[in-house]
Copies of this chain bind each other. A is one copy, B any other.
Amino acid sequence: MKIKAILALVAITLAGSAAAQVKPEEAIKFRQSGYGFMAWNMARIKMNVEGTYNKEEVIKAATAIQAIANSGMGALYLPGTDKGTGWEKTRAKPEIWTEKEKLGKAAMAFNKEANEMAKVAAAGDAAATKEQLGKLGGTCKGCHDDFKIKD
């Protein structure tokens, strides 16, 4: 058996373990849940920097965003989930499955800023949190512009 064939088999086996046991509509629902929960936590941080700053609340929110960002949600973009309905009809653009390199860069930028957000939150400075929220939000928007169908 050639190396290439072995590697292909390994890839199939890996895909066949955890990810492939998730049904397409479940995968769509799970990823919408991840984004939905991050949206709450982004909104909370925004409220804190615009209103009364509660360091503990910002830490909780930033920790949740960081954990979701690093959870490996890419596994939820299974083949066959470019169309379909989870909580609602997916708004994933086909480019997610065709522009892997661009998507990878967008995902890495998002993860980087989410990790930085958690650090900034731990320090507890409102102005720095506001600035980092802007950077983090920029990576969300960048990815949405390229890979999410508009409302």
- Residues of A whose CB lies within 8 Å of any CB of B are 17-18, 21-22, 26, 29-30, 32-37, 39-41, 43-44, 47-48, 51-52, 54, 57, 60-61, 63-64, 66-68, 70-72, 76, 87-88
Contact = CB atoms under 8 A, between A and B. Distances in A.
B36 A21 contact: no
A72 B88 contact: no
A96 B88 CA distance: 27
A43 B26 CA distance: 11
A interface SS class: helix
Given A18-B48, A33-B37, 18 more contacts: A17-B54, A18-B47, A21-B43, A26-B40, A29-B36, A30-B39, A32-B33, A33-B39, A33-B40, A34-B37, A34-B40, A37-B37, A41-B71, A63-B70, A66-B67, A67-B67, A67-B68, A68-B68
Contact of A44 (B18, B51, B66): B18
A61 B34 CA distance: 12
B76 A71 contact: no
Contacts of A32: 33, 36, 87
Nearest to A41: B71
Contact of A17 (B40, B47, B87): B47
B18 A76 contact: no
A39 B26 CA distance: 10
Contacts of A66: 67
Contacts of A22: 40, 43
